[in-house]
A = this chain, B = another copy of it.
Amino acid sequence: MATSYQHQKAGDLNFLKRLNRSAILEMVRRVPGLTRSDIATQAQLTKATVGSGVQSLLNQGWLKEGELQKSSGGRPGRALHLNDDRHYLLGAEVGVHRLRLVACAPSGKVLEAHHEPFVPTSPESTASLVAELLQQLMRSPAVSNRENLGVGVALPGPIATGEAVLRRAPNLGWRDVRFLDLLHPHLPELKGVWLMDNEAKLAAFGELYFRTGKIPESLIYVSAGTGIGSGMAEGSHSPLLTRGVQGLAGEIGHTILQPGGLYCHCGNRGCAETLVSGWSIRANLGIDEKDDLIQALGSRLQEPDVKRTLRRAGEALGMLLLNLHHTQNPAEIVLGGSLTQLGSTFLDPALTYFEANQHRLLGTTERVPLRVVEDSTFVAARGAAAQVLARAIHGPELS
């Protein structure tokens, strides 16, 4: 896996070359329009090294040259840009209620996307359907003349570091599923990077990796849907995901938020999910599992018991966010998942609680930004694509 770690960090000259090429590529990707000179300064490399590295990346089609920049007294530098037209990445998410798929350009731009309702079935038939939908995506005109770099799959459950096994997906009823092994036979022609990972972790990765401009040094994505999960990505160069030995990192839905509280489906009492989650809201308001939660509540948002339920759930979410702040202290928190569509009745209490309490310990005014994703439909699938790109860039691909 991406953060599966090199057992010992040692390397040869080729490793060094790749390292420098990757660094150049990442820099240009993050700051479009950088010149060779800028790169040399920031990466502490010599002009000559950068020159040859850039040349090779140009030849391979990873980079392209842009316009001459304004001169600052001497010869103007030539802007460099990521070549966004040559490659593409595939990302898929197997959700509890939907399948979502994207084909992305290296910049993160979605070239082609597709989602459709999905009734949880066996891993095998799901893999077969995912493969079919991926092939449709690959045949679409927007990507057909590009080179594929690989495919990533986001799944709703814990996946341990180093092994491509979905340990358990309670909402799908799956257990110990090697999804890539099921998918691969259907797509034998698909070369490049193959990976699978937890949905919230990939979303966190994508939100950080595809960002341009000012890049936070770490980011937590909170996925609030049927259950509550989170993922943390760290490091601006090539972010690493915190997975935990068993892949349980980020399972904040099962952190205890109310000792002696209600029983959770996991068997324990007082889990955060008993206070805030799709299923707890359904249980509180008597909404059938077959009905779409958002639609069912859309017309009832003014009812007192709905308002009260959503407000309480929102407050619990705020506490969860504060707990993340005081446990992992990311530079930014991004909130996504279907529950964010419930709007301000649900979200305001969460944001308010977090804002009111995030300064308790330091008393300073510096703020950890908390952002709600506008549309989280493809966030995880796009994050899977982001991981594919990261591995392509840092893997042996660039000669």
A residues sitting closer than 8 Å to B (CB atoms) are 5-13, 15-16, 19-20, 22-24, 26-27, 42-45, 49, 158, 161, 167-168, 216-218, 234-238, 242-252, 254-259, 266-268, 270, 315-316, 319, 322-331, 357, 360-364, 366, 368
Residue of B nearest to A15 (CB): B16
Q: Are A8 and B237 in contact (CB under 8 A)?
A: yes
The answer for the CA separation of A167 and B362 in the assembled complex, in Å, is: 7
Q: Are B252 and A326 in contact (CB under 8 A)?
A: yes
Chain B residues positioned under 8 Å from A249 (CB to CB): 327-329
Q: How far is the CB of A27 from chain B (nearest CB, A)?
A: 6
The answer for the CA separation of A259 and B23 in the assembled complex, in Å, is: 46
With A256-B322, A329-B249, A363-B168 as contacts: A10 and B45 at CB distance below 8 Å = yes
Q: Are B5 and A10 in contact (CB under 8 A)?
A: no
Q: Are A13 and B10 in contact (CB under 8 A)?
A: no
Q: Are A361 and B10 in contact (CB under 8 A)?
A: no
With A20-B11, A252-B327 as contacts: A362 and B258 at CB distance below 8 Å = no
Tell which of B13, B161, B250, B362 touches A327, judged by Cβ atoms closer than 8 Å.
B250
With A168-B363, A237-B9 as contacts: A331 and B245 at CB distance below 8 Å = yes
Could you list some 30 contacts between A and B, CB below 8 A? A8-B23, A8-B26, A8-B27, A9-B22, A10-B23, A10-B44, A13-B16, A158-B361, A158-B362, A167-B362, A168-B361, A168-B362, A217-B245, A234-B242, A244-B330, A245-B329, A245-B330, A245-B331, A246-B362, A248-B325, A249-B328, A254-B326, A254-B361, A255-B326, A257-B257, A258-B258, A259-B316, A323-B323, A323-B327, A327-B327
Q: Are B360 and A266 in contact (CB under 8 A)?
A: yes
The answer for the CA separation of A168 and B218 in the assembled complex, in Å, is: 22
Residue of B nearest to A162 (CB): B217
7 additional contacts (CB under 8 A) given A244-B329, A249-B328: A5-B237, A13-B13, A158-B362, A168-B363, A248-B361, A256-B319, A256-B322
Tell which of B235, B237, B268, B361 touches A266, judged by Cβ atoms closer than 8 Å.
B361
Chain B residues positioned under 8 Å from A5 (CB to CB): 217, 235-237
Chain B residues positioned under 8 Å from A11 (CB to CB): 16, 19-20
Chain B residues positioned under 8 Å from A234 (CB to CB): 242
Residue of B nearest to A8 (CB): B43
Residue of B nearest to A24 (CB): B10
Chain B residues positioned under 8 Å from A254 (CB to CB): 326, 360-361
The answer for the CA separation of A8 and B39 in the assembled complex, in Å, is: 10
With A5-B235, A235-B5 as contacts: A255 and B327 at CB distance below 8 Å = yes
Q: Are B315 and A259 in contact (CB under 8 A)?
A: yes
Chain B residues positioned under 8 Å from A360 (CB to CB): 254, 266-268
With A45-B10, A258-B258, A259-B316 as contacts: A218 and B244 at CB distance below 8 Å = yes
Chain B residues positioned under 8 Å from A266 (CB to CB): 360-361
